[in-house]
């Protein structure tokens, strides 16, 4: 399943609180895309910001031939993307990267998502559910408007704990607060996480303390996203020694235990 | 009408003048998902050193206007692993390869060249004398004509393929250094490497790269590259030059050839347009056909110099 370069029409654009969702027509990407993989998107055609930006795939609909991304329009690139409307085109490269590893047999798993990172976990939840698994989730954000929750999560998760920094939705606190109790109660095989780096670091640490393997989808600056620039590396323990591995190729999903957090 | 795009690089014959800039194309494996490697003149591989290198800590890259900064610290698996895994992969596919070698001392360059001797499919070696990101930054060969000449002479003596010497634009007299490389026996020159730059995050007051400074690349540096190629070609018209620095389209490639380049290398553009190298290779043929050019010799260095 090689990645492709594709000029994709925007099928729909929507708001999700502070976030935006863009659904794009790219059948050959939708066909192969796996949870945890990403698209590298040109965000300023003809402009001075040449580098593509990586976006986690939030959904791949094989039937409709669409892929979607969810993002926070905070920077120049994401703001350009947020201005796209149905019928506009977007230049994509994907699907890229090593996504989440999913066991083929059904089991209990825990998802931990922060901010718009939860969208990629929704894609994963659908896949785990389709395999007959039991999925629990902890989703968090700074506040209600920055919390990502969708129908797929609601329908596929056996339980969802909601945490916000300011208590404007769910419980006040961090996503790591309910982790020990949920791990004790459900004995998940794997903790899957996606979100901002400090949250990922804390999530990996709690999972590790409690002896549960974690799979962490990291977010790093990438110049190329296709494995040749070596800017997006993280120090990762590999066969006993520390190596700089590429977030775009060996990642973006790494074992939480293996990452040598800065 | 047939267009002959083949070029000679100091004895190495390339089917067309488009190659890849070292460090911007890996050794072709990843890029072969997007590009027919046989459409290019050669693959210039990422720089290797005698021993494997871990490279520097992230953050290693930052975007700037029409370009980017990088500081990788020559992360590489070592020249032996490169020969076994990368060069052989290209050789199996009959894709011509140019290795890029680096080192901390003349002996380290020679060591790399020796390991590469006799490698199938290796058509030339490029000496990376100008990487500005290494920890021992006082030791940049390309800053000095004498040190450049030392490495070139030693590598030339050890090599069984043409030697290309890659120089830095961050010098007061590039022509003097190019002349020293030529006098020491280099078969050609690669111009230019990145130029040293810096960017600072105004929110955190931190440099955007972990090393503080890094190499600036992309279209932002193209005029510097064209100038360097032009200056050196005028001084050394018989030394073949691989011109590079910000080439992102056919026009850029033609511009570089008009300045005096024999071949051109695509670097940073591969990052954001993964198929661009093949597009440029095909585009040059179209350009020539349209203009009735039968060989690039007709336009090389043909910039009109009177106002």
pLDDT, tens digit, for every residue of B127-178? 999 754 354 456 689 999 999 999 999 999 999 999 999 999 999 999 999 9
Cα–Cα distance measured from residue B5 to residue B16, given in angstroms and rounded to the nearest whole number: 5
A140 contact B CB<8A = no
Is B131 marked active-site?
A: yes
Enumerate the residues of chain B whose CB falls inside 8 A of the CB of residue A231: 58-61, 70, 72
Enumerate the residues of chain B whose CB falls inside 8 A of the CB of residue A223: 61, 63, 68, 70, 268, 271
A235 contact B CB<8A = yes
Contact state of A226 with B60 under an 8 Å Cβ cutoff: no
| Greater pLDDT, B305 or B35 | B35
Report the residue from A3, A223, A242 with minimal CB separation from B68.
A223
Residues A254 and A215: beta-carbon distance below 8 Å: yes
Min distance A229 CA to chain B CA atoms (Å):
6
Q: What is the pLDDT of residues B246-302, one digit of tens each?
A: 999 999 999 999 999 999 999 999 999 999 999 999 999 999 999 999 999 999 999
Contact state of B58 with A50 under an 8 Å Cβ cutoff: no
A-B CB pairs within 8 A amount to 96
Question: Is B204 exposed, middle or buried (CB count within 10 Å of its CB: 0-12, 13-18, 19+)?
Answer: exposed
Contact state of B26 with A227 under an 8 Å Cβ cutoff: yes
Report the residue from A5, A230, A234 with minimal CB separation from B75.
A230
| Greater pLDDT, B1 or A173 | A173
Report the residue from B30, B55, B70 with minimal CB separation from A244.
B55
Which residues of B have a CB under 8 Å from any CB of A? 23-26, 30-31, 33-34, 46, 54-55, 57-63, 65-68, 70, 72, 75, 218-219, 268-272, 274-275
Q: What percent of chain B has pLDDT over 90?
A: 93
Residue B147, CB-side half-sphere exposure with 13 Å CA sphere: 18
Angle at B197 between CA B196 and CA B200, to 5 degrees: 155
Contact state of B58 with A249 under an 8 Å Cβ cutoff: no
Contact state of B72 with A49 under an 8 Å Cβ cutoff: no
Chain B residue at shortest CA distance from A4: B34
Q: What is the pTM of this model?
A: 0.96
Q: Which residues on neighbouring strands pair with residue B97, listed in sequence order?
A: B43, B122
Min distance B160 CA to chain A CA atoms (Å):
28
Contact state of B58 with A233 under an 8 Å Cβ cutoff: yes
Enumerate the residues of chain B whose CB falls inside 8 A of the CB of residue A93: 274
Q: How far is CA A59 from CA A86, A119, A148, B33, B273, in A?
A: 17, 8, 14, 23, 24
Report the residue from A48, A235, A244 with minimal CB separation from B65.
A48
Q: What is the pLDDT of residue A238?
A: 86
Min distance B67 CA to chain A CA atoms (Å):
7
Min distance A226 CA to chain B CA atoms (Å):
7
- pLDDT confidence of B306, banded at 50, 70, 90? confident
Chain A residue at shortest CA distance from B209: A231
Q: What is the pLDDT of residue A27?
A: 97
Q: What is the pLDDT of residue B307?
A: 59
ipTM of the complex: 0.96
Q: What is the pLDDT of residue A46?
A: 87
Contact state of B60 with A262 under an 8 Å Cβ cutoff: no
Q: What is the DSSP string of B147-188?
A: HHHHHHHHHHHH-SS-EEEE--S-SS-HHHHHHHHHHTT-SE
- How much is the average pLDDT of B32-48? 98
**Which candidate in B112, B131, B228, B288 is catalytic?**
B131
- Indicate the average pLDDT of chain B: 95
Q: How far apart are the two ends of chain A, measured CA to CA in Å?
A: 33
Q: Following CA atoms B261, B75, A238, A54 in sequence, which dihedral angle do they give, to the nearest 10 degrees?
A: -60
A134 contact B CB<8A = no
Contact state of A230 with B55 under an 8 Å Cβ cutoff: yes
| Greater pLDDT, B2 or B208 | B208
Give the SS3 label for residue B194: coil
Q: What is the pLDDT of residue A210?
A: 97
Q: What is the pLDDT of residue B136?
A: 45
- Tens of pLDDT, residue by residue, chain A (262 residues): 789 999 999 999 999 899 999 999 999 999 999 999 999 999 988 899 999 999 999 999 999 999 999 999 999 899 999 999 999 999 999 999 999 999 889 999 999 999 999 999 999 999 999 999 999 999 999 999 999 999 999 999 999 999 999 999 999 999 999 999 999 999 999 999 999 999 999 999 999 999 999 999 999 999 999 999 999 999 999 888 999 999 999 999 999 999 998 7
Contact state of A262 with B30 under an 8 Å Cβ cutoff: no
Enumerate the residues of chain B whose CB falls inside 8 A of the CB of residue A244: 54-55, 58, 75
Enumerate the residues of chain B whose CB falls inside 8 A of the CB of residue A228: 24-26, 30-31, 46, 270-271
Q: What is the pLDDT of residue B132?
A: 44
A224 contact B CB<8A = yes
């Amino acid at each position: 399943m090689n990645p492709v370069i594709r000029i994709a029409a925007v099928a729909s654009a929507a708001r999700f609180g502070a976030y935006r969702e863009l659904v794009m027509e790219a059948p050959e990407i939708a066909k192969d895309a796996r949870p945890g993989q990403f698209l590298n998107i040109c965000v300023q055609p003809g402009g001075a910001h040449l580098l593509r930006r990586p976006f986690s795939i939030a959904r791949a609909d094989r039937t409709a031939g669409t892929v979607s991304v969810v993002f926070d329009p905070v920077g120049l690139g994401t703001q350009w993307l947020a201005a796209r409307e149905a019928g506009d085109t977007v230049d994509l490269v994907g699907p890229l990267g090593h996504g989440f590893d999913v066991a083929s047999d059904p089991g209990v798993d825990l998802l931990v998502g922060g901010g718009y990172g939860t969208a990629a976990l929704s894609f994963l939840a659908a896949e785990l559910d389709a395999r007959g698994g039991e999925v629990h989730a902890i989703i968090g954000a700074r506040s209600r408007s920055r919390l990502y929750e969708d129908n797929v999560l609601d329908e596929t998760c056996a339980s969802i704990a909601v945490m916000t920094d300011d208590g404007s939705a769910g419980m006040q606190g961090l996503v790591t607060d309910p982790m020990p109790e949920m791990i004790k109660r459900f004995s998940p095989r794997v903790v899957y996480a996606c979100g901002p780096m400090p949250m990922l670091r804390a999530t990996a640490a709690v999972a590790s303390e409690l002896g549960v393997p974690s799979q962490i989808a990291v977010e790093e600056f990438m110049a190329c996203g296709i494995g040749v620039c070596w800017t997006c590396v993280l120090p990762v323990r590999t066969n006993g020694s520390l190596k700089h591995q590429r977030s775009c190729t060996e990642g973006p999903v790494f074992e939480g235990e293996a990452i040598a957090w800065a | 009408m047939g267009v002959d795009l083949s070029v000679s690089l100091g004895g190495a014959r390339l089917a067309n003048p488009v190659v890849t800039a070292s460090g911007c194309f890996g050794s072709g494996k990843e890029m072969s998902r997007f590009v027919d490697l046989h459409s290019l003149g050669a693959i210039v591989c990422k720089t290797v050193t005698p021993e494997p290198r871990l490279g520097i800590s992230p953050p290693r890259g930052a975007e700037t206007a029409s370009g980017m900064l990088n500081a990788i610290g020559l992360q590489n698996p070592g020249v032996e692993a490169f020969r076994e895994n990368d060069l052989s992969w290209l050789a199996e596919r009959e894709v011509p390869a140019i290795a890029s070698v680096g080192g901390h001392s003349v002996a380290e360059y020679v060591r790399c060249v020796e390991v590469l001797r006799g490698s199938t499919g290796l058509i030339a070696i490029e000496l990376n004398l100008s990487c500005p990101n290494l920890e021992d930054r006082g030791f940049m060969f390309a800053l000095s004509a004498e040190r450049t000449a030392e490495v070139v002479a030693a590598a030339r003596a050890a090599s069984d393929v043409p030697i290309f010497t890659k120089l830095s634009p961050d010098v007061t007299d590039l022509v003097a250094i190019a002349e020293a490389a030529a006098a020491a026996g280099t078969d050609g020159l690669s111009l230019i490497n990145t130029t040293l730059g810096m960017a600072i995050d105004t929110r955190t007051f931190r440099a955007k790269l972990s090393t503080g400074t890094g190499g600036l690349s992309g279209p932002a540096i193209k005029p510097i590259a064209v100038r360097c190629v032009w200056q050196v070609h005028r001084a050394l018209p018989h030394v073949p030059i691989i011109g590079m620095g910000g080439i992102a389209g056919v026009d850029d490639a033609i511009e570089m050839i008009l300045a005096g380049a024999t071949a051109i290398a695509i670097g940073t553009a591969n990052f954001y347009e993964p198929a661009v190298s093949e597009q440029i290779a095909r585009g040059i043929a179209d350009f020539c056909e349209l203009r009735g050019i039968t060989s690039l010799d007709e336009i090389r260095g043909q910039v009109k110099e009177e106002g």
